[in-house]
Amino acid sequence: MTPAHDPNDYEVGMRHKLEFINILNDDGTLNSNAGPEFEGMKRFHARKKVIEEMKKKGLYEGDADNPMQIPVCAKSGDVIESVMKPQWWVSCKTLADKAIEVSSILISLDSLTLPELILEGLESTIYSELVLENSRFDRQLQKVIGIDG
């Protein structure tokens, strides 16, 4: 049973109040919870080593096909290992509110002509439209997020 590493075992572990012990490091090697003979080994190497050790001790009964779905990463093709991690989230409301504020400022600035922009004090020296656009955006963004420029 590996309740900390398998979704099905997790459910069994919850029902039977088993301890959830993580044996994987973030890089896919085994940690000290796996035991000294397996610590630091890559996960697939460790699986082979476990079978070898079981055979040495007379505990191995054999293998058989097991129809199961192994999760695989669509990008890399790597097997995905389930690992329990603390969950966290980020509230994006404040960030979204600031982005809306910046976009509304930029929309209103786009309607101003070059002399109006200068009168507004948004740009005192204008070398080109590109410099104006970048500078205008940077200053308004700094103002909205509270950074003194």
* Residue 68 shares a structural domain with residue 119: no
What is the per-residue burial (b if ≥16 Cβ within 10 Å, else e) of 5-25?
A: beeebbeebeeeeeeeeebbe
* Residue 32 shares a structural domain with residue 54: yes
Q: Which two tokens stand for residue 145?
A: 């997020």
Number of domains present in the structure of the chain? 2
Which residues, in sequence order, are bridge partners of residue 29? 42
Rounded to 5°, angle at Cα 108 from 103 and 114:
120
Determine the Cα–Cα distance for residues 122 and 142; give it in Å rounded to an integer. 12
Give phi and psi for 110, each to the nearest 5.
Answer: -60, -25
Q: Residue 60: which residues within 8 A CB-CB, separation 6 or more? A: 51, 54
* Residue 67 shares a structural domain with residue 2: yes
* Residue 20 shares a structural domain with residue 52: yes
* Residue 139 shares a structural domain with residue 120: yes
Q: Which two tokens stand for residue 5?
A: 């590493």
* Residue 20 shares a structural domain with residue 73: yes
Kindly write down the DSSP assignment for every residue of 35-78, as one continuous string: -TTTTT-BHHHHHHHHHHHHHHTT----------PPPB-TTT-P
* Residue 38 shares a structural domain with residue 101: no
User: Is 25 in contact with 17 (CB distance < 8 Å)?
Assistant: no
* Residue 74 shares a structural domain with residue 52: yes
**CATH number, position 7:** 3.90.740.10
* Residue 62 shares a structural domain with residue 99: no
* Residue 13 shares a structural domain with residue 59: yes
pTM for the full predicted model = 0.51
Could you list the pLDDT tens digit for every one of the 149 residues in the chain?
676 777 788 888 889 998 888 888 988 899 999 999 999 999 889 989 999 999 999 999 998 888 877 888 889 988 888 777 777 878 888 877 877 777 666 555 555 555 555 555 544 444 344 444 455 556 665 665 565 55
